[in-house]
Amino acid sequence: NRIMKRILIALAVLASVQVAGAQNIETAKKNLEAAKAACENVKKAAKVATWINLGNKFIDAYNAPIGNAWVGADVTSLTLAMGNDKPVSTENVVLNGTTYTKQVYKDKNIYINEAGVVDIIEVTNPVCADPLSSALEAFVKAAEVDVKATKLKDIANGIKSVSEKYVTDAYSAYSLGNIESARNLFVAAYNASLTQPYAVADTSALYNAAFTSWSIGDNADAKDYFEKCISLNYFEDGEVYTKLADVMSKLDTTAAGKKAMKSVLEEGFSKFPSNQGILIGLINYYITSGEDTDRLFSLLDDAKKNEPGNASLYYVEGNIYLQLGNAEKAKEAYRKCSEINPEYEWGYIGEGMMYYDQAIEIQDKAQSELDDAKYMELVKEFEVVLKNCLAPFEKAFEITKDESIKMTVAEYLKNANYRFSSQDPSYKEAYDKYNAYLNQ
């Protein structure tokens, strides 16, 4: 029948792939040596096709040890695809808190996650050293030879492939915990992407080069890469500004350095006023520098003029007031946020968190109070403030469509209602409701 025919065709194709896979390594080596030899021939070396072929043969050499495996394959598909290429050993390993099944082959390690899917392929016995850099050199030479520009598309595709493979290796290195190696590979990917005639900047690779440089404490390089991100209008929702300000604060602690960092944060704030990292950086700067904190509200007012209906700006304003110790103004801002957009949960969450945190502070103060009368006053104050968090949290729980936020708010509501569950059946009922939700 038709289904059986499809299965038989698929198996036939798979069988042919397995046979080809078994020959991959030796074929790649022979083809690469032949391509190199062609480039040493004066007449052949004058032809663009000779250098494109060399670049492609280096890419084939890169691919050969990987064989028929691929990231994203499930265990069953991987087993079928690998055919007679069996692992010599298998072990469980933990990488960055994630447990993997590590299959060790003669030329690679394959890491399978707990869902039974290939996450990482690590080549341990490459056909040649640095096949990607060699491939890139070949494509660059091809562009030089192609004086009539007849093969620019083929050359550009080869360069693009090199850049993409560098990115794949960079993510694998990062997953394996080799952060410095990952950084170098992201840099290589970005630089390859700039190579003519492809020349399409891989801004994601650039950001990752910056992030990994920041991660290993290479602040000078991180600063350079983050600044390049900004020049290319790549911001990662404002995180580029947050990280750039951080590395600037480490590189230059002088007054001039701090002012330069402030300028970066203010620029970031003007573009991403809801980014909490930028906001916290600005608040910390103005608090520690002694400069007039009204500048924060001036920046926020500018953002409001550009987006008068953006409720998140009032949430940000509430956070600023809270950090500056003005709870009453913070409450006003959070409520204004909810007034502008009743379906925006963060206004309610901001108010609820404000009261919850205040209650915890009062509770801590009460626990260290030795005077019984003062202790009881603090307990009463604690209960009043804690009850104030319930209404905004309940509204946030009701309207949010984000399950993770809903779970977090439910945890706060469960804890707060538990405090009063023995005093009033309604609190016990609410406690049971949120406890049941969290345990469903």
pLDDT per residue over 112-131, tens digit each? 999 999 999 999 999 999 99
> If residue 104 lies in a helix (H) or strand (E), which one and from where to where?
strand 98-104
**At which residue do the structure tokens 């080799």 appear?**
178
Distance, C-alpha 385 to centroid of its chain: 38
Q: pLDDT, tens digit, for every residue of 150-204?
A: 999 999 999 999 999 999 999 999 999 999 999 999 999 999 999 999 999 999 9
What pLDDT score was predicted for residue 6? 45
DSSP collapsed to 3 states, 28-47:
HHHHHHHHHHHHHCHHHHCC
Q: Which of 440, 355, 439, 437 is nearest to 397 (CA)?
A: 437
Render pLDDT for 205-229 as a digit per residue (tens, 0 to 9).
999 999 999 999 999 999 999 999 9
Q: At 316, phi and psi to the nearest 5?
A: -60, -45
Q: How far is CA 313 from the centre of its chain?
A: 24
Residue 17: pLDDT above 70? no
Tokens of 119: 């996450």
Q: What is the three-class DSSP state of 121?
A: strand
Whether omega for the bond prior to residue 197 falls within 30 degrees of 0, making it cis, is yes
Alpha-carbon gap, residue 262 to 283, rounded angstroms: 10
Amino acid (1-letter code) at residue 290: G
* Alpha carbon distance 175, 109 (integer Å): 13
The closest alpha carbon to 241, from 214, 216, 266, 221, belongs to 266
4, pLDDT greater than 70: no
At 23, the pLDDT band (50, 70, 90 cuts) reads low
pLDDT digits (tens, 9 = 90+) for 287-313: 778 788 888 888 888 888 878 888 988
CB-based contacts of 291-294 (< 8 A; 24+ apart in sequence): 293/324
Which residues is 98 bridged to in the sheet?
95
Q: Alpha-carbon distance 128 to 63, whole Å?
A: 11
Q: How many whole angstroms separate alpha carbon 343 and alpha carbon 337?
A: 10
Instruction: Assess contact for 309 and 275: CB atoms under 8 A.
Output: no
For residue 12, the model assigns a pLDDT of 44
pTM of the predicted model, to two decimals?
A: 0.75
